[in-house]
């Protein structure tokens, strides 16, 4: 039943989105930043409806760790499709996500993602991938936070794939803080009983900022593993809270 409700909502939202695209286009002509802000407001409300319909109960921890006066690079583990939902409804800054290239072909969703400064990463094309990272650095310099899952793919369960070090160029070249994020149990919403949606308790945990400027040379070389260790510590803590 929850799956049907979510599908029906997505259909209705896609229809409603058609006139909203026009409104956002006009807003963007006068103020690009206002367009991002209003688009994020609309999208987060839609995602909250999905969380409600899916019966997802969410605990948010550590939001006080996110600086409100500067853009950041959010770095998270990736357990399931619901990661992006629980992340987007909780990030306190204007934020674009870095998603896989295939998402650009999804109707409705891709249009909203572009409004939000989201970027589409082609992992099979090094040159295009570099262009995406450079655009992400430019977005941060322009005042917009970026969100990335450096594992590169979903890994349901407690184990994580090694973080791709190239993802951290976004922070290194822009000078922004890194916010580690631990996401726990989102795979229980969908992946564990694919293709059905099920109610679940999830936790999203924002860690303390990491400044690459304050790290020693050796730690900078292994920044991916360094941040991943911090996320692993938070995941272990939050797993105990759910059990």
Domain map (residue ranges) of the chain? 57-242
Say what the pLDDT of residue 123 is.
Answer: 79
3-state secondary structure of 206: strand
Say what the pLDDT of residue 207 is.
Answer: 97
pTM, two decimal places: 0.94
Task: Give the residue among 34, 150, 174 at the shortest CA–CA distance from 98.
Answer: 150
The residue ranges of the chain whose pLDDT is under 50 are none
- How do beta strands 119-121 and 95-100 pair? parallel
Say what the pLDDT of residue 91 is.
Answer: 96
3-state secondary structure of 14: helix
Other CB atoms within a 10 A radius of the CB of residue 205 amount to 23
Ramachandran region of residue 144, left (φ > 0), alpha (ψ -120 to 50) or beta?
beta
Say what the pLDDT of residue 39 is.
Answer: 97
Q: How many Cα atoms sit within 13 Å of 121 on the Cβ side? A: 22
Say what the pLDDT of residue 224 is.
Answer: 93
Say what the pLDDT of residue 68 is.
Answer: 86
Instruction: Return the bridge partners of 53, or none.
Output: none
Burial (Cβ within 10 Å: 0-12, 13-18, ≥19) of residue 5: middle
Give the DSSP letter of residue 243.
-
Say what the pLDDT of residue 105 is.
Answer: 86
Query: CATH number of the domain at 57-242, please?
Result: 3.40.1130.10
Distance between CA 64 and CA 206 in Å, rounded?
A: 8
């Amino acid at each position: 039943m929850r799956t049907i409700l979510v599908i029906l909502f997505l259909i209705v939202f896609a229809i409603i989105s058609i006139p909203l695209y026009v409104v956002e286009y006009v807003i963007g002509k006068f103020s690009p930043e206002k367009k991002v802000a209003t688009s994020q407001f609309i999208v987060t409300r839609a995602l909250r409806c999905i969380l409600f319909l899916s019966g997802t109960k969410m605990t948010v921890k550590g939001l006080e760790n996110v600086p409100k006066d500067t853009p950041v690079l959010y770095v998270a583990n990736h357990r399931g499709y619901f990661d992006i939902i629980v992340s987007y409804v909780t990030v306190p800054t204007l934020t674009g996500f870095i998603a896989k290239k295939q998402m650009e072909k999804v109707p409705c969703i891709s249009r909203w993602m572009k409004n939000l400064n989201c970027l589409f990463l082609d992992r099979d094309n090094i040159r295009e991938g570099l262009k995406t990272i450079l655009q992400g650095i430019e977005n941060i310099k322009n005042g917009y936070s970026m969100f990335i899952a450096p594992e590169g793919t979903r890994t349901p369960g407690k184990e994580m794939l090694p973080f791709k070090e190239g993802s951290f160029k976004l922070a290194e070249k822009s000078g922004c803080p890194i916010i580690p994020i631990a996401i726990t149990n989102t795979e229980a919403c969908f992946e564990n009983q694919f293709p059905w949606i099920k109610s679940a308790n999830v936790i999203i945990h924002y860690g303390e900022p990491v400044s690459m400027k304050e790290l020693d040379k050796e730690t900078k070389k292994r920044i991916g593993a360094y941040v991943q260790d911090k996320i692993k510590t938070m995941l272990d803590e939050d797993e105990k809270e759910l059990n």
